Amino acid sequence: MDVHIRTKGHAGRITLHRPKALNALTYQMCLDIEAALDTWRDDDAVKLVVIDAEGDKAFCAGGDIQDLYDTAVAGDFAYGQRFWRDEYRLNQKIFNYPKPYVALMQGFVMGGGVGVSCHGSHRVVCDTSQIAMPECGIGLIPDVGGSLMLARAPGRLGEYLGTTGARMDAGNAIYAGFADCYVPKDDWSTLLRALEQTGDVGVIDAHTRPAPTASFSTLQVDIDRHFASTDMNDVMASLGEDETEFAASAIKLLRKKSPLSAAATPTLIERVRAADTIEAALSEEYKFTYRAAQHGDFIEGIKATIIDRSHTPKWRFATLADVGQSDVETMLAPLGDAAL
């Protein structure tokens, strides 16, 4: 059983149950979670929903992309397109869910894991939490509605997080708007019992402790200066003129990403910031993910990072400087009848 779904007391409980796979989200898990949410929406006995996960290493390190890779390599792009369409419908459902949705996020929370947790109404992090949107490293763009959180992050922090895939600890996740409160991991079992027994999210307050300092807050001025442009060549030039440790680290992270994906991400975030709805975010993301296997770097990104683990992908464009704005616009162009 990859996801354990049940009710306990006043709580609908969802537990991701693939600890050896870092609780990576399969297509069926998405469908099972959606079905549970649909059932509980009109069940008066269920006052709130809690999603958590087995194991200490990860809440959910992302989507299970083996099937996406296998089908895409075989020339079947429809499977991935359908997977993303259905996953995004779940993300929207969580964002708009009429009952409190509590997410307990330990360890790695990345990509698809962000999509089933960070859209909840009450997002709890702890001492081990490491949240990130690393999609540019596998030839995608920040998706599962993550572009909306990036767009709403302070200043240009979203552009920095989305293009570099930098990880956020508990303090930074709260600062960036990916989490709400810090509860030490040792207190989670007590908190869970209280949520089940009372059906009242107010009990979270009693367990909340001061969040660790957000290091990104001290870097905000630098981030805003360097990531001000939607043209990543301007960003790289700005970083290149800065001799700080932060700039050197950002350049190193950016050079590992798909140039096409990294180039498209600031334009994606800019569009989503203007619209400021989950529906617009998912719709804009889908334009890119729909094309990612056939016209982008998705297959190569998965091959290099997951399949043969060479970590030396042969991207469609050698560097960011080789990607034109027209290439970005092509990946983010309207999909017509295939639109989300």
Q: Is 34 a catalytic residue?
A: no
Give Cα 282 to chain centroid, integer Å.
Answer: 12
Selected catalytic residue, list 34, 52, 62, 63: 63
Q: Is 112 a catalytic residue?
A: yes
Selected catalytic residue, list 34, 52, 64, 135: 135
CA 264/CA 140 separation, integer angstroms: 10
Q: At what angle do helices 157-164 and 245-254 cross, to 10 degrees?
A: 50
CA 267/CA 289 separation, integer angstroms: 15
Selected catalytic residue, list 64, 143, 297, 327: 143
Q: At what angle do helices 215-226 and 232-240 cross, to 10 degrees?
A: 110
Q: Is 180 a catalytic residue?
A: no
CB 130 within 8 A of CB 178: no
Q: Is 52 a catalytic residue?
A: no
Residues labelled as active-site residues: 63, 112, 135, 143
